[in-house]
Structure 1
Amino acid sequence: MIRIGVDLGGTKTEVAAIDSNGQTRYSVREATPDQYESKIRLIAKLVRSTEESLQSDSLSVGIGHPGSINPATGLIRNSNSAALNGRALDKDLATALNRPVRCANDANCFALSEAVDGAGQGAKSVFGVILGTGVGGGLVLNNCLHEGHGLLGGEWGHTSLPWPSVDEAPGPPCKCGLRGCIESWISGPALTADHQRRSGEALTGEQILDRARAGDPAAEASLDRFQDRLARGLATIVNIVDPEVIVLGGGLSNIPGLAEKTGQRLPGYVFSDQVTTRIVRNTHGDSSGVRGAAWLWPLT
C-alpha cells in the first residue's frame, strides 16, 4: 500500500510516496508560492505527477502544515505562513484532489514519523520536538497521533520556561504576544539573541557552535544555557506525560551531543528519583515531515 505525504513549508513543498515498508518510492520538491490559491494548485499538481510516475491514482494523501485547524471553525490558525490562516485547507485540498485528505501540524507529522519507523520506533509513547526557527512538538501514543480536544496537543513552545532565574524573568517577548515562552529561549533566533545579550556579539547559531568548539568561553556559556533551558522545558513534558522517548528534530538538534547532555540534566528537574525517558536525535531529518504526513492514514 502506497501513501502520499505532503510537507507544506514556508519556502519549499515536498511530496513523497511511501510504501508500507517505509521506503520512499518517489519524491519531488518545489518552491512554495506565496499566494494561497497557488499553494493549492501546486500541491494538486505534485500529487498528480507523483501518481502518474507510479502509474496509480486516488492514493491516500496526508498534509503536514504550519499552524493547526480550529475544530470549531475548520480554519487554519497560528500558522507562520500567514496566507494559510483563516483558510479551510483540508476542504480546499479535498476539492482540488477530488478525495478526502488528512491534515496535521508539521511538528505532529515529525513526531509521528519518528514514532512509526524512526528514532522512537517500538516505543509506546513518543514526544517529538522541533528546535528550529520556532519550537514545536507532537505526542504519539501507540503509533497514533494525540492532537488533543482542540487540536493544540504538543504546543509546548508556547508555555513558559520553567524555573526561571532572576535574570530570565519576565523573559524575551514572543511572537505570540506573551513573554518568556520556551520558543523565545531555545529557538534558533533565541540562541542568537541570548548570546548577543550576554556577549555583545551578533553571531549565528552555527558561528556560536564553531566558537564553542574552539574553546571560546562566551560561546560555551551560551550553549550551556541553551541546554539547561531545553532540559527544563522537557522536564515539564516528562512530569506531565512521562514519554518513553523524546526525539529531537529541527536544525538545532544537530548540535553535537545535545540529546545526551540534555538527558543528563533531566534528573535535576524531573519530579522522580529515577528518569527513564530517553532523549535521542531523529532518524529521518528533514524528511520526517513528509513521511509523517503519509502516516496520517492507517498503517494497516
Structure 2
Amino acid sequence: MILCFDIGGTAIKSAEAFCADDIRPGARVPTPGGDFARFAAVLRRAVSDASTAPERVAISIAGVIDPDTGRATVANIPCLTGRRLVADLTAELGLPVDLANDADCFALAEAGIGAGRGHDVVFGLILGTGVGGGLVVRGELINSAGGFAGEWGHGPVAQRIIGDQVLPAFACGCGQTGCLDAICSARGMERLHLHLTGEALDSQAIVAGWEAGAPAPSHTIGLWLELLAGPLAMVQNMLGAGIMAAGGGLSNSRPLIAALDRALRARILRRLERPLIVPAECAIEPGLVGAALLGLSRRGRALA
C-alpha cells in the first residue's frame, strides 16, 4: 500500500492506494505551516494509523523542488521552504518518499485515469488561482526530479496591444511583469476586467456575464482568449500533446473551455477536428490520485 498525501497551505488530505483502481481517500487535517516538527508529526501519525503498513509515501504539494539541490520552495507552508524535503521526510518517516508538485500530480491523474487516457503526451492545463500546468509523456512526468516544467504562466509574454486595445504589463507574484499568470488567472481576469471597465467583479460573475452575452464581460473574455490562445499554441506546437486536460476554477465553465479550445486549434500547426482542450475528468481528488500513481510507479521500479 502507498500512503498518499495532498498537502496545501490549509489542509493535509490523505489516501491509501493499493493499485490505480483502488485509491481510498482518508482523513483531512489542518496543515501546521510554521513548525516542521509538528508537520512531520502529522505525517508520522497518519503512517501509524494506516490500515496496513505502507511500503512508501507519495506526496502532492503546492510547491517546487529544485532538481539540482533538492530544496523546496513552498510559499504557503513556510516551514518547508529551504529544506531538502524528500531526504528530510524520508528520515522522519522511515519510508521511501516520492514527491511532486500539485500541477504535476494533476497531470498524472488525468493521464492515468482521466481525460488523457490513451494519449502518449498529456498536458495538465491549470486555469484557476494561477496559470500553470504539468506534462506527462508515456505515463511519466517529464520532470521526475522536480523543477519548473509546465509552468507556462510565467515569463513576460502577455500581449500588450490587441487590436486597438493597449493593456498594462501587470506585476506578477513571481517578480516579473507581463506574465500570463498575472492577467489570465482568475484574479488576473478580474484585474483585466477592472482595467477595461472600471467595474470590480469576481471571475465567476465575469464568466457568467459572458455566457449570458453581456457586452462588458464579453469584451473582457474576448481579450482573455486572445491573451491565452497565442502562447498556448506555442506550447502545443512544441509539446505535440494529444490532449490538454483543463483544471482549476475557470475550467468549471465548459463554454469557456470550449471557446479556448477553438481559439487554440485555429492557431496551431496541426489541424484537429476534435477538441484538444477538454475538461478534466478525474473524479477523486487529483492531487491524491496523482500522488498515488507516482508512488505506484516508483514502487514498481523498486520491485523490478
TM-score (norm 2): 0.88
Q: Distance in 2 between matches of 1:36 and 1:156?
A: 32
What does residue 196 of structure 2 align with?
Answer: 198
1:182 aligns with one of 180, 183, 190? 180
**Aligned residue identity for 1:41:** A
What are the equivalent positions in structure 2 for 1:159-174 lying under 5 Å apart?
159-161=155-157, 164-165=160-161, 167=165, 171-174=169-172
What does residue 91 of structure 1 align with?
Answer: 87
Structure 2 counterpart SS, 1:17:
strand
What does residue 30 of structure 2 align with?
Answer: 31
Give CA-to-partner distance per residue, 1:246-265, whole Å, 9 cap, x none.
Answer: 01111111123233211111
Tell whether 2:62 aligns with 1:66.
yes
2:109 aligns with one of 92, 105, 113? 113
Choose 203-212 or 114-123, whichever is displaced more: 203-212
Give CA-to-partner distance per residue, 1:62-89, whole Å, 9 cap, x none.
Answer: 1111222113322113645443221222
Deviation at 1:283, TM superposition (A): 1.2
Report the CA distance shift for 1:21/1:105 in structure 2 as closer, same or farther (over 3 A). closer
What does residue 128 of structure 1 align with?
Answer: 124
What does residue 282 of structure 1 align with?
Answer: 280
Structure 2 counterpart SS, 1:240:
helix
Deviation at 1:150, TM superposition (A): 6.8
What does residue 245 of structure 1 align with?
Answer: 243
Q: Distance in 2 between matches of 1:179 and 1:84?
A: 27
Deviation at 1:291, TM superposition (A): 0.9
Q: Distance in 2 between matches of 1:35 and 1:236?
A: 40
Q: Structure 2 stretches of 5 or more lacking a match?
A: none
Q: Distance in 1 between matches of 2:30 and 2:260?
A: 35
Report the CA distance shift for 1:60/1:208 in structure 2 as closer, same or farther (over 3 A). same
Choose 226-235 or 103-112, whichever is displaced more: 226-235
Report the CA distance shift for 1:15/1:150 in structure 2 as closer, same or farther (over 3 A). closer
Report the CA distance shift for 1:154/1:271 in structure 2 as closer, same or farther (over 3 A). same
What does residue 226 of structure 1 align with?
Answer: 224
Deviation at 1:133, TM superposition (A): 1.4
Deviation at 1:238, TM superposition (A): 0.7
Report the CA distance shift for 1:80/1:170 in structure 2 as closer, same or farther (over 3 A). farther
What are the equivalent positions in structure 2 for 1:286-297 lying under 5 Å apart?
287-297=285-295
Q: Distance in 1 between matches of 2:146 and 2:58?
A: 20
What does residue 96 of structure 2 align with?
Answer: 100
User: How many residues were matched structurally?
Assistant: 295
Q: Distance in 2 between matches of 1:131 and 1:63?
A: 22
Choose 266-275 or 66-75, whichever is displaced more: 266-275
What does residue 2 of structure 2 align with?
Answer: 3
Structure 2 counterpart SS, 1:158:
coil
Give CA-to-partner distance per residue, 1:150-194, whole Å, 9 cap, x none.
Answer: 722111111333554265566211111111111112111101111
Q: Distance in 2 between matches of 1:214 and 1:136?
A: 28
Instruction: Give the root-mean-square deviation of aligned CA atoms.
Output: 2.3
Structure 2 counterpart SS, 1:156:
coil
Structure 2 counterpart SS, 1:248:
strand
Q: Structure 1 stretches of 5 or more lacking a match?
A: none
Runs ≥4 in structure 1, deviation > 3 angstroms?
Answer: 78-83, 160-164, 166-170, 271-277
Report the CA distance shift for 1:148/1:58 in structure 2 as closer, same or farther (over 3 A). closer
